[in-house]
Amino acid sequence: MPRAVDHEQRRFEIVAGLWQIVAEQGIEGISLRSVAARSEVSMGRVQHYFGTKDALVVAGIDLLVKRAVIEYETTAGRPPDERLLHLLLQQIPATEAGRMGVTVWYAYVAKAMTHTAVREILAEATRVGVEECTRHIQEADGLPKAAARERAIELLALSDGLTLRVLVGDITAAEAEASIRDHRARL
Amino acid sequence: MPRAVDHEQRRFEIVAGLWQIVAEQGIEGISLRSVAARSEVSMGRVQHYFGTKDALVVAGIDLLVKRAVIEYETTAGRPPDERLLHLLLQQIPATEAGRMGVTVWYAYVAKAMTHTAVREILAEATRVGVEECTRHIQEADGLPKAAARERAIELLALSDGLTLRVLVGDITAAEAEASIRDHRARL
DNA sequence: CCGATGACGATGCGATCGCATTGGAATCAT
DNA sequence: ATGATTCCAATGCGATCGCATCGTCATCGG
């Protein structure tokens, strides 16, 4: 067997470059050459680890989701209401890095409209998000599952919509966060 | 002076083809050739009426917004609450044509993240939307402007978020509409 | 009738694209 | 030491791209 390289690490380096490209130029900016240049690796390397452009594009959202899941799992053991707020507030772009992440996220949401594999990854991610929120609301408020689920979807939708407004510059991140907390407190 | 053609009409025909392309393949699918083919006109014609690809892309969102404004203006004279609900419900994809329209809309929302001209058009459109909603809430509920504006942004954000869920297939259009009506009634 | 002008269709060019191919360097079991 | 295997850089190809250019009708004021 030949050289032992960290497969995951190599793939992550390349995808990190892809995220920058997407944040700056959108999904359209992705090309084997542009991602290779941004990641400061050769185009041959990108081909070696991802094969086709499509696989590279899919890996971009796949890793993004996996990162979010890992971050969420660090809240395990915390009280339900806190975990719920984490899910509702995580995507609101407070920092510059967070802004890049959510910009990439919404670029992929648009992509999902016309790309099956991307759509399935996002659908699964939101499904899990709704389930977790529902569970926390059930525990925190003592609601039956159906009612809790309705509120979960409502809160998540509100979070999505407010996030969009922040991205467009219509409101600030602080205003969005206040609106969500206020809404959660009222329900 | 030469042949008299309806400039607006020609431009609309081409943009209608562009919308189909965007709905099916996303913004990435736009090219002078693909739009020309879908509109069943020559590429020369597309160049003649739009000049550059970028101008064509911008015209796509510009006309979409103008159409929405015209449709909204047909509700002039109706009671405030009805006009408010029109603004909140208009984008929820009930029909197939409506689904296409809102798919194109969100494709451009993603585009706006990296394209200044598109961002300004969308920013202006949402600004007007918030203002109109605020006005209707003031009239209908007798709230002061600041409070009405807060609720307007909240309701519009909820509408945005629910629309996204409908597009992804997470909930149905009817469920989204019910959630918005319910929310509006509760406030 | 005629020339200016608008409305195109057709074509060509340089750039960029995804992808396949080739070949060599590095590594390790044998 | 050697052969197998992995890792990757380099190159080439055919397709597609935006855009500029050129030529040709059709139209209408003069």
Is 60 exceeded by the pLDDT of residue A145?
A: yes
Distance between CA atoms of residues A29 and A127, nearest Å: 29
Q: According to the model, what pLDDT value does residue A187 have?
A: 73
Is 90 exceeded by the pLDDT of residue B40?
A: yes
Flag residues 16-45 of A with CB < 7 Å from strand C. 30-34, 43-44
At the second CATH level, the architecture of A7-186 is Orthogonal Bundle (1.10)
Is the alpha carbon torsion for B32, B38, B42, B48 positive or negative?
negative
Q: According to the model, what pLDDT value does residue A170 have?
A: 87
Instruction: Note whether A43 and A58 are within 8 A (CB).
Output: no
State whether residue A77 is helix, strand or coil.
coil
Instruction: Count CB neighbours of B116 within 10 A.
Output: 8
pLDDT band at B6 (very low <50, low <70, confident <90, very high): confident
Is the alpha carbon torsion for A143, A144, A145, A151 positive or negative?
negative
pLDDT band at A153 (very low <50, low <70, confident <90, very high): very high
What percentage of chain B reaches a pLDDT higher than 70? 98
Closest to A60 measured CA to CA, from A95, A6, A97, A112? A112
Is 70 exceeded by the pLDDT of residue A3?
A: no
Q: According to the model, what pLDDT value does residue B168 have?
A: 85
Instruction: Note whether B50 and B14 are within 8 A (CB).
Output: yes
Any CB–CB contact under 8 A between B99 and chain A?
no
Helices (H) and strands (E) in chain B, counts: 9, 0
Distance between CA atoms of residues A39 and A17, nearest Å: 5
The pLDDT tens digits of the residues spanning B137-183 come to 999 999 999 999 999 999 999 999 999 999 988 899 999 999 999 99
Is 60 exceeded by the pLDDT of residue A26?
A: yes
What tokens appear for A172 in the block? Answer: 């600030």
What tokens appear for B156 in the block? Answer: 């519009």
The CA angle A149-A155-A159, to the nearest 5 degrees, is: 140
Q: According to the model, what pLDDT value does residue B14 have?
A: 98
Closest to A106 measured CA to CA, from A20, A13, A11, A27? A27
Is 60 exceeded by the pLDDT of residue B1?
A: no
| Residue A35 CB contacts under 8 Å (≥ 6 apart), including other chains | A14, A17, A18, A21, A46, A56
The pLDDT tens digits of the residues spanning B101-134 come to 999 999 999 999 999 999 999 999 999 999 999 9
Which residue is closest, via its CA, to the C1' of D10? Answer: A44
Any CB–CB contact under 8 A between A27 and chain B?
yes
Q: Which helix (H) or strand (E) holds A94?
A: none
Phi, psi of B19 (to 5 degrees): -60, -40
What tokens appear for A8 in the block? Answer: 């995951």
Asked if B161 and A165 come within 8 Å (Cβ–Cβ), the reply is: no
Mean pLDDT of chain A: 95
Instruction: Note whether B108 and B58 are within 8 A (CB).
Output: no
Q: According to the model, what pLDDT value does residue B34 have?
A: 98
Q: According to the model, what pLDDT value does residue B181 have?
A: 96
pLDDT band at A1 (very low <50, low <70, confident <90, very high): low
Distance between CA atoms of residues A2 and A130, nearest Å: 45
Residue ranges of alpha helices (H) inside chain A are: 7-25, 32-39, 43-50, 53-73, 80-89, 96-112, 116-141, 145-168, 173-186
Flag residues 94-133 of B with CB < 7 Å from strand D. none
Going from N- to C-terminal start, the domains of chain B cover 7-186
HSE-up of A54 (CA within 13 Å, CB side)?
6
Q: According to the model, what pLDDT value does residue B176 have?
A: 97
Chain D nucleotides with an atom closer than 7 Å to a protein C-beta: 4-11, 16-21, 26-29
Partner residue opposite A168 with nearest CB, options B25, B122, B164: B122
What tokens appear for A146 in the block? Answer: 């159906």
Residue A15, amino acid: V
Q: For chain A, how long is the longest CA-to-CA vector?
A: 62
Instruction: Estimate to the nearest angstrom the gap between the alpha carbon of B107 and the chain centroid.
Output: 10
